């Protein structure tokens, strides 16, 4: 299926997990992709997988730190120049840290908000002029099931993802008449670099019973931190739909992809 021939995408968080899977899916459907991440090593792995699939010729790597404004300004400009314009933006980059809320230091709170929420804003701000050159364009931001459902020890992360969700609604309304669609995906119980690292971030004295309701009801073959997880390709397929004409009437909303964890 080549729904995305001649489609030009900038995708952040492309070095691993859902971001990497989405790069591969968009390339498979015919898109040209600038894959951005702070990890040069991870980006090379993404390139290797693209080359194995025979779609590497439409992939460009971009080392960009969404937590640094100048890096984003320079990176988005480079991506637009490389692609000759921009049809969609996918903001998959982000971090997760966990701690008891009463002992969360302000610098940790600020780090999570700065990368997840402010970083998403800066990338969107810099990409908007290029996106609005088109009569139809799309932004897909990454929220999380934690934005709407309780995830213990993750108050800062949940706040950042809730902010992304509200931000996405706002820009969907602001730019809808100019043909821009803005949508959130809200993954949950999806195996990724973040979920693999989560057990290492959870406080040593955590009450693991609080995580009892955070399991998918659909059967899964993957695990992360001892819990059943879905494949990142499940989210990648939804994103491919959203940036294609199949998603042409979807905007100002979020799509939860969690295998029924929060059914």
Categorize the per-residue pLDDT at 225 as very low, low, confident or very high, splitting at 50, 70 and 90: low
- Answer yes or no: are the C-beta atoms of 76 and 53 closer than 8 Å: no
pLDDT at 223: 82
Beta bridge partners of 227: 224
Phi, psi of 223 (to 5 degrees): -135, 155
Degrees, nearest 5: CA angle 121-35-136: 60
Select the more confidently predicted residue: 214 or 78. 78
Helix 233-243 to helix 17-28 angle (10° resolution) is 50
Distance spanning both ends of the chain, measured CA to CA: 31
pLDDT at 215: 85
Task: Tell me if the pTM is above 0.75.
Answer: yes
Average pLDDT, the chain: 95
157 is catalytic: yes
Summarize pLDDT for 4-13 with one digit per residue, the tens.
999 999 999 9
Continuous segment of H or E residues that includes residue 183: strand 180-187
d(CA 134, CA 149): 36
d(CA 10, CA 36): 7
- Answer yes or no: are the C-beta atoms of 22 and 234 closer than 8 Å: no
Q: Which two tokens stand for residue 256?
A: 């939860």
Strand 8-12 to strand 88-91: parallel, antiparallel, or no bridges (unpaired)?
A: parallel
Sole residue written with tokens 């966990």: 98
- The domains located in the chain, with CATH, are 8-257 (3.40.50.720)
- Cα 202 to its chain centre, rounded Å, is 22
Query: Among 99-103, 136-140, 165-169, 188-192, which is the least confidently predicted range?
Result: 188-192
d(CA 11, CA 23): 7
């Amino acid at each position: 299926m080549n729904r995305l021939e001649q489609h030009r995408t900038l995708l952040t968080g492309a070095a691993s997990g859902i971001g990497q899977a989405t790069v591969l899916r968009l390339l498979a459907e015919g898109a040209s992709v600038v894959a951005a991440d702070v990890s040069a090593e991870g980006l090379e792995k993404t390139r290797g997988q693209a080359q194995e699939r025979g779609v590497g010729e439409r992939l460009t790597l971009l080392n960009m730190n969404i937590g640094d404004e100048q890096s984003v300004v320079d990176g988005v400009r480079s991506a637009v120049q490389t692609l000759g314009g921009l049809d969609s933006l996918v903001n998959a980059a982000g971090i997760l840290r966990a701690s008891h809320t009463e002992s969360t230091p302000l610098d940790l709170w600020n780090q999570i908000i700065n990368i997840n929420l402010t970083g998403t804003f800066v990338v969107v701000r810099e990409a908007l002029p290029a996106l609005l050159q088109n009569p139809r364009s799309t932004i897909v931001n990454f929220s999380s099931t934690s934005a709407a459902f309780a995830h213990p020890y993750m108050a800062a992360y949940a706040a950042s993802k809730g902010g992304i969700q509200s931000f996405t609604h706002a820009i969907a309304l602001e730019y809808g008449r100019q043909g821009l669609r803005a949508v959130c995906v809200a993954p949950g119980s999806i195996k990724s670099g973040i979920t693999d690292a989560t057990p290492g971030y959870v406080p040593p004295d955590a009450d693991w019973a609080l995580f009892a309701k955070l399991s998918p009801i659909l059967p899964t073959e993957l695990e992360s931190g001892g819990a059943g997880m879905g494949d990142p390709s499940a989210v990648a397929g939804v994103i491919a739909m959203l940036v294609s004409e199949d998603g042409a009437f979807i905007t100002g909303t979020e799509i939860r992809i969690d295998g029924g964890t929060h059914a």
